[in-house]
Chain A
Amino acid sequence: MDITPDAIIHGHIGPVAIPATLVFTWIVMAILVLGSWSVTRNLSTEAAVPRGQLLLEIVLEGIRGQIRDMIDTDPDRYLPFIGTLFLFIFTSNVLSIVPGFHAPTGSLSTTTALALCVFAAVPVFGIMAQGWRGYLKSYLQPTPLMLPFNLISEITRTISLSIRLFGNMMSGGMIAAVALAIAPLFFPVIMNALGLLIGVIQSYIFSILALVYIATATRAHEEQAARTSGATSATTKETQHGKP
């Protein structure tokens, strides 16, 4: 039993081996790109909208609504990055119930690459929003003493982001395999349905966490100000309440 699809080698291009992870990543990319390409060939603004366009509009509006709920600002700035992450992870997780398909997110290489994308995107969005000085200042935010902890948290959250997705997807496949060995009649169906649910939730979690990290980098100042003012107002309220 392999714990990652990296170990399955499909072929070689020169000295480079092509593992199953790469093949299934290409399949997911092809599905996403060809699907959106074929839908956006004939867009219409009539009352009767083609089905594919309707689907994409619902997905897009859903993602935009989630981003807007989360950060209360214009979602279009974060939509390309967060939406791409969500759609890629969602498609590969959901396709994992197709027999013979190994979800590329079940490999630590893919999830590490995705987490590194988030790791790189956080400073990019942060610097775009508040400039070099503002962004670098956010590392000294509560006090300069917190600098090492801020740096450590930057790295550990990237690691935890990748391990979380990998562990969840790998455990899904592992549980299905174990269930197949122990109770092959009916049980694997239930575990597969549970794996599907977990896959959808994990894709949501991954993109929301990426959004949260980016949002904290882009508006650390405002949040800090809001938190201190909120804290002082809460304490004054408490003391007023406590007095009588």
Chain B
Amino acid sequence: MESLELIAMISIIMAGATVGIGAPITAIGEGWAVSRAMGSLAQQPDAAPTISRTLFIGLAMIESSAIYCFVVSMILIFANPFWNHFASLPGVQ
């Protein structure tokens, strides 16, 4: 019981912390990328296809770190291996 409670508490706190720390930092990075791309688009509208394509690829690369955080927090909440292990032990209930 002790370990299950601990695992649940730490999992929920860490799931929130993972997204709460990982997403804003990624968002700042994406914001910089977009603002620079907007500046370049305003200066060179002719290069719009290249800039926007590179921007999309770059954004997807940056965003994947936020997605990793999200996946980790989802695993912590919905598919936590430690929770499953301790919940399946017969003595621990």
Interface set of A (CB-CB < 8 Å, partner B): 1-3, 69-70, 160, 163-164, 166-168, 170-171, 174, 201-202, 204-205, 208-209, 212
Distance, CA A209 to CA B71, complexed state (A): 21
Smallest CB-CB A-B distances: 7 pairs: A167-B67, A205-B60, A164-B64, A167-B71, A3-B78, A3-B74, A171-B70
- Scan residues 27-66 of chain B and give those whose CB is less than 8 A from a CB of chain A: 49-50, 53, 56-57, 60, 63-64
Contact in complex: B49, A69 (CB < 8 Å): yes
Q: A167-B70, A170-B71 are in contact. Are A160 and B64 (CB under 8 A)?
A: yes
B60 to chain A: closest residue by CB:
A205
The answer to whether the Cβ of B68 comes within 8 Å of any Cβ in the partner chain is yes
Distance, CA A164 to CA B79, complexed state (A): 18
Contact in complex: A163, B64 (CB < 8 Å): yes
Distance, CA A205 to CA B74, complexed state (A): 23
A3 to chain B: closest residue by CB:
B78
Number of interface residues of B (CB under 8 A): 16
How many residue pairs link A and B with beta carbons under 8 A? The number is 45
Contact in complex: B57, A209 (CB < 8 Å): yes
Q: Hey, which chain A residues are within 8 Å of B75, CB to CB?
A: 3
Q: Hey, which chain A residues are within 8 Å of B67, CB to CB?
A: 163-164, 167-168, 171
Contact in complex: B68, A205 (CB < 8 Å): no
Contact in complex: B64, A209 (CB < 8 Å): no
Known: A3-B78, A164-B60, A205-B60. 4 other contacts (CB 8 A): A163-B64, A163-B71, A164-B64, A202-B60
Distance, CA A10 to CA B93, complexed state (A): 32
A155 to chain B, nearest CB (A): 15
Contact in complex: B71, A201 (CB < 8 Å): no
Distance, CA A174 to CA B67, complexed state (A): 13
Cβ contact of B60, chosen from A166, A171, A174, A209, cutoff 8 A: A209
B37 to chain A, nearest CB (A): 15
A4 to chain B, nearest CB (A): 9
* Most chain B CB atoms below 10 A, which of A69, A166, A167: A167
Q: Hey, which chain B residues are within 8 Å of A70, CB to CB?
A: 53
Q: A3-B79, A69-B49, A164-B64 are in contact. Are A212 and B57 (CB under 8 A)?
A: yes
Distance, CA A148 to CA B63, complexed state (A): 26
Distance, CA A65 to CA B56, complexed state (A): 17
Q: Hey, which chain B residues are within 8 Å of A170, CB to CB?
A: 71, 74
Distance, CA A202 to CA B56, complexed state (A): 10
Q: Hey, which chain B residues are within 8 Å of A208, CB to CB?
A: 53, 56-57
B54 to chain A, nearest CB (A): 10
